[in-house]
Structure 1
Amino acid sequence: MPYVLIQVTREGVTAEQKATLIRQTTDLLVQVLGKDPAATFVVIEEVDTDNWGVAGETVTRLRARTAAGAGR
């Protein structure tokens, strides 16, 4: 009974993209590991960029700093 958690930042991932992730992740587990798709669980968790950190700062701040630098 595989359980796969996919975490993405909350930045406009569409319902269609989520459905594709779920379908293709399930297909991958069937193809590679021979798992039963009816017993395969895929969960997509959207995380606010204030709650996701990279290199010691939040993604919100990192993106704001990057955007500010690009506007120069």
Structure 2
Amino acid sequence: MPLIQVSIMEGRPKEKIEELIHELTTTTAATLGSPKENIRVLVTELPKTHWGIAGESVHKKTN
């Protein structure tokens, strides 16, 4: 059973997350030949304060 884990920064619309789950499932099913029913996708949204780029949080860089 394929398990796909994705970490993204918070703030995207729920519809985009649904689309991501759908597309990852479809691509994985086609690539691995797995039934869609056996594929699991876990999307973790991280706050900007917990996402660092070049030694600083994204929150700090954007404020």
Distance 2:13 2:48 in 1: 17
| TM-score of the pair, normalised by structure 1 | 0.80
Please tell me the residue identity of whatever aligns with 1:40: I
Instruction: State TM-score, norm by structure 2.
Output: 0.90
Gaps of 5+ in 1: 65-72
Q: Percent of aligned positions with the same letter in both sequences?
A: 25
Corresponding letter in the other structure for 1:59: V
Gapped runs of 5+ residues in structure 2? none
Larger gyration radius, structure 1 or structure 2:
1
Report the Cα distance in structure 2 between the residues aligned to 1:30 and 1:41, rounded to whole angstroms: 11
Whole-angstrom distance in 2 between the partners of 1:58 and 1:18: 23
Q: Distance in 1 between matches of 2:27 and 2:59?
A: 32
CA distance in 1 between partners of 2:50 and 2:16 (Å): 22
Q: Which amino acid aligns with 1:10?
A: E
